Amino acid sequence: MTLFVSDVSGNWYAAVLQQTATGKAVFLKSYRRSSLKDANLQRKKGEVLVDTLPG
């Protein structure tokens, strides 16, 4: 699952989370700079757990 967040200056970041095989925990697989455009594209093609993106 990918989580998109922005900071107060408007920079976007993508954090990729992965569930363990037991399903009892998650861990951070990667963290990178992103953009609002990328976040909106991912929202359209995947599952959204929390939708706080504009639009």
Q: Could you report the per-residue pLDDT of 15-42, keeping only the tens digit for each?
A: 889 999 999 999 999 999 998 888 888 8
Q: Is the CB of residue 7 less than 8 Å from the CB of residue 31?
A: no
Over 80: is that where the pLDDT of 54 sits? no
Give residue 41's pLDDT. 82
At 45, the amino acid letter reads: K
Measured between alpha carbons, how far is 31 from 50 in angstroms, rounded to an integer?
18
Phi, psi of 42, rounded to the nearest 5 degrees = -65, -35
pTM recorded for the entire structure: 0.69
